[in-house]
Amino acid sequence: MLDEAGRALRDELLQVIRRGAEGPLDDAAFDTLALRVFAYNHTRVPAYAGYCRARGREPGTVTSWRDIPAVPTAAFKEVTLLAGGAEAEAVFRTSGTTLGRAQRGAHPVADLSIYRHALRAAFATYLLPDRARLPFLSLVPPAGDVPDSSLSFMVTDVQERFGAEGSATFADPDGLDLPGLDAAVGAAVAEDRPILLLGTSAAFIHWLDQLVAAGRRHPLPDGSRLMDTGGYKGAGRDVPPDALRQAYRDRLGLPAHHCINEYGMTEMLSQLYDAALADHHAGRTRPPRKAAPPWVRSVAVDPETLEPVPPGATGLLRHLDLANIGSVAAIQTEDLGRVDEQGLVLEGRAAGAPPRGCSIAMDLILRETRG
Partner 1 sequence: MTPFDSFHLPALPAGHPMELMTAGRLKCRFPAPTAELIEQTVEALREARRTLGRRPVDDVVEAVDRAAVRLADPGDPLRQEAEDGVGRATGYSPAMTRLVLDRMTADWRAPALRRLLRAELGDPAALDRFLPREGDRRTRAYGPGLSFHVFAGNVPGVAVTSIVRSLLVKAPVLAKLASGEPVLPVLFARALTAADPGLGAAVATTYWPGGTPEPERVALDAADLVVVYGGEEAVASVRARAAFGSRLVVHGPRLSAGLIAAGALEGDPATLARDVARAVATFDQQGCVSPHAIWIEDPAGDLTDRFADALAVAMDEVERVLPRGRLDAAATSTIHQERGAAELRGHATGTTRVLTGDGTSWTVVVDRAPGFRPSCLNRFVYLRPVARVDDAVEALAGTAAYLQSVAIAAPAELWGDVAHRLAMAGATRVTTFDRLPWPPPEWHHDGSGPLQELVRWVDLED
Residue 38 within binding range of partner 1, rule CB under 8 A:
no
Binder among 20, 59, 72, 288 for partner 1 (CB under 8 A):
72
Distance CA 47, CA 80 (A): 9
Sign of the Cα torsion 115, 88, 328, 260 reads: negative
Residue 305 within binding range of partner 1, rule CB under 8 A:
yes
Residue 357 within binding range of partner 1, rule CB under 8 A:
yes
Residue 86 CA: distances (Å) to CA of 40, 111, 327: 12, 9, 10
What's 109's DSSP letter? E
CB-nearer residue toward partner 1: 69 or 135: 69
Residue 77 within binding range of partner 1, rule CB under 8 A:
yes
Strand order in the sheet with 90-95: 106-109, 90-95, 369-370
CB of 346 to partner 1, least distance (A): 14
Show the 3-state SS of 321-349: ECCCCCCCCEEEEEEEEEEECCEEEEEEE
CB of 281 to partner 1, least distance (A): 36
Residue 47 within binding range of partner 1, rule CB under 8 A:
yes
Strand partners, 186: none
Strand partners, 107: 92
CB-nearer residue toward partner 1: 55 or 161: 55
CB-nearer residue toward partner 1: 51 or 273: 51
Residue 247 within binding range of partner 1, rule CB under 8 A:
no
CB of 107 to partner 1, least distance (A): 14
CB-nearer residue toward partner 1: 256 or 366: 366
Contact indicator for 270, 295 with CB cutoff of 8 Å: yes
CB-nearer residue toward partner 1: 77 or 249: 77
CB-nearer residue toward partner 1: 256 or 350: 350
Stretch of residues binding partner 1 (CB under 8 A), selected from 114-122, 243-251, 301-309, 337-345: 301-309
CB of 300 to partner 1, least distance (A): 11
**Ramachandran class of 223: left when φ > 0, alpha when ψ lies in -120 to 50, beta otherwise:** left
CB of 45 to partner 1, least distance (A): 9
Crossing angle of helices 4-18 and 112-127, in 10° steps, is 10
CB-nearer residue toward partner 1: 46 or 311: 46
Q: Which residues of 291-300 are buried (b: 16+ CB within 10 A; e: fewer)?
A: bbbbbbbbbb
CB-nearer residue toward partner 1: 103 or 113: 103
Distance CA 303, CA 211 (A): 40
CB of 358 to partner 1, least distance (A): 4
Alpha-carbon 94 to chain mean position:
12
Residue 354 within binding range of partner 1, rule CB under 8 A:
yes
173, exposed or middle or buried, with CB in 10 Å at 0-12, 13-18, 19+? exposed
Binder among 8, 18, 50, 144 for partner 1 (CB under 8 A):
50
**Where on the chain is the footprint of partner 1 (CB under 8 A)?**
46-51, 54, 71-75, 77-81, 99-100, 303-306, 316, 332, 334, 336, 349-362, 365-366
